[in-house]
């Protein structure tokens, strides 16, 4: 088995990034943070990469911060704000800003920052046996990696408060029924289905998908009036691109579209 903390597969139009510290349920030590940042660094500028699949090796997706990696040393006052600034905040910002669909295949437990990393992705599939745990309160911390922003929006305030204050596990099926994730899949089928989503999305009109992501992100703060103007502007942009011409032509010719991904 590879000792690299992150595995990167370059597929035809997509990348698969696998967190690879299975012995500690892919918890983040500094080495893994650095490797994930490197794996994601050039994706936005790589026109050949039109979808990203994120998953974990072994029986867990990610158990959040590696609690054995010097985050707490008896007798020393930790500066967690500094490590959040250095590692988790850039990671979540990067994931959210990628102009391509980000699919997350949650293959097992997702705890702490690992749960919120998964929820920051665009489409989350989870193995039926997976669990999401806002583990922070169990160790005297507060949710980070966007959890307090994502959760109320995904599942509402009542559920967000209960699961963050209690730190109870949410099963994949519960997560799906609450709208926290897109879909639960049988464990054995997870990676096949996640890859199929990823390869499908990698062939779609990537530029338009990026605009859809932008519109949904901006809707978090916009009024309906502002959003209508934004949709007008983005539609104007999409309509001038080659993929709109191809999409309409393919429809009229009753054949599958061959999108370039460009705007």
Contact residues for ligand T3D (CB under 6 A)? 24-25, 27, 63-68, 71, 80, 83-84, 109, 111-113, 133, 135-136, 139, 141, 144
Element of type H or E holding 34: helix 30-41
Would you state the structure tokens that stand for residue 197, as one six-digit string?
A: 């989503």
Shortest reach from residue 217's CB to ligand T3D, in Å: 23
Q: Based on CB atoms, which residue is closest to ligand T3D, 144 or 243?
A: 144
Separation of alpha carbons 119 and 33, rounded Å: 18
Residue, CB closest to ligand T3D:
64
Would you state the structure tokens that stand for residue 73, as one six-digit string?
A: 């040393």
Separation of alpha carbons 185 and 188, rounded Å: 8
Q: Based on CB atoms, which residue is closest to ligand T3D, 117 or 238?
A: 117
Shortest reach from residue 257's CB to ligand T3D, in Å: 42
Do the Cβ atoms of 197 and 125 come closer than 8 Å?
yes
Q: Based on CB atoms, which residue is closest to ligand T3D, 64 or 205?
A: 64
Q: Based on CB atoms, which residue is closest to ligand T3D, 61 or 259?
A: 61
Q: Based on CB atoms, which residue is closest to ligand T3D, 39 or 109?
A: 109
Q: Based on CB atoms, which residue is closest to ligand T3D, 60 or 101?
A: 60
Distance of CA 225 to the CA centre of its chain: 29
Separation of alpha carbons 33 and 29, rounded Å: 6
Shortest reach from residue 149's CB to ligand T3D, in Å: 15
3-state secondary structure 167-217: CCEEEHHHHHHHCCCCEEECHHHHHHHHHHHHHHHCCCCHHHHHHHHHHHH
Shortest reach from residue 86's CB to ligand T3D, in Å: 8
φ, ψ at 36 (rounded to 5°): -65, -45
Q: Based on CB atoms, which residue is closest to ligand T3D, 118 or 209?
A: 118
Shortest reach from residue 235's CB to ligand T3D, in Å: 40
Shortest reach from residue 184's CB to ligand T3D, in Å: 18
Shortest reach from residue 90's CB to ligand T3D, in Å: 13
The strand ranges marked E within the chain are 6-10, 15-19, 52-56, 60-62, 102-106, 109-111, 123-127, 131-133, 169-171, 183-185
């Amino acid at each position: 088995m590879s000792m690299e903390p992150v595995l990167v597969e370059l597929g035809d139009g997509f990348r698969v990034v696998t967190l690879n510290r299975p012995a500690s349920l892919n918890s983040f030590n500094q080495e893994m943070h650095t490797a994930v940042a490197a794996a994601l660094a050039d994706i936005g500028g790589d026109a050949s990469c039109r979808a990203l699949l994120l998953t974990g090796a072994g029986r867990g997706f990610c158990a959040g911060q590696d609690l054995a990696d010097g985050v707490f040393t008896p007798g020393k006052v930790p500066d967690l704000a500094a490590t959040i600034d250095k590692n988790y905040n850039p990671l979540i910002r990067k994931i959210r800003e990628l102009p391509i669909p980000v699919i997350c295949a949650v293959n097992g437990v997702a705890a702490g920052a690992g749960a919120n990393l998964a929820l920051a992705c665009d489409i989350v599939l989870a193995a039926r046996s997976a669990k999401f745990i806002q583990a922070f309160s169990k160790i005297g911390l507060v949710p980070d990696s966007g959890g307090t922003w994502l959760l109320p929006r995904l599942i509402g305030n009542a559920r967000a408060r209960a699961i963050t204050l209690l730190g109870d596990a949410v099963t994949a099926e519960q997560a799906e029924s609450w709208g926290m994730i897109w879909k639960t899949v049988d464990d054995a089928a997870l990676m096949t289905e996640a890859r199929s989503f990823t390869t499908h999305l990698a062939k779609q009109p990537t530029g338009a998908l990026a605009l859809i992501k932008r519109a949904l992100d901006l809707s978090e703060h916009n009024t309906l009036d502002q959003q209508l103007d934004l949709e007008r502007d983005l539609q104007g942009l999409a309509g001038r691109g080659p993929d709109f011409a191809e999409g309409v032509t393919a429809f009229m010719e009753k054949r599958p579209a061959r999108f370039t991904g460009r705007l």
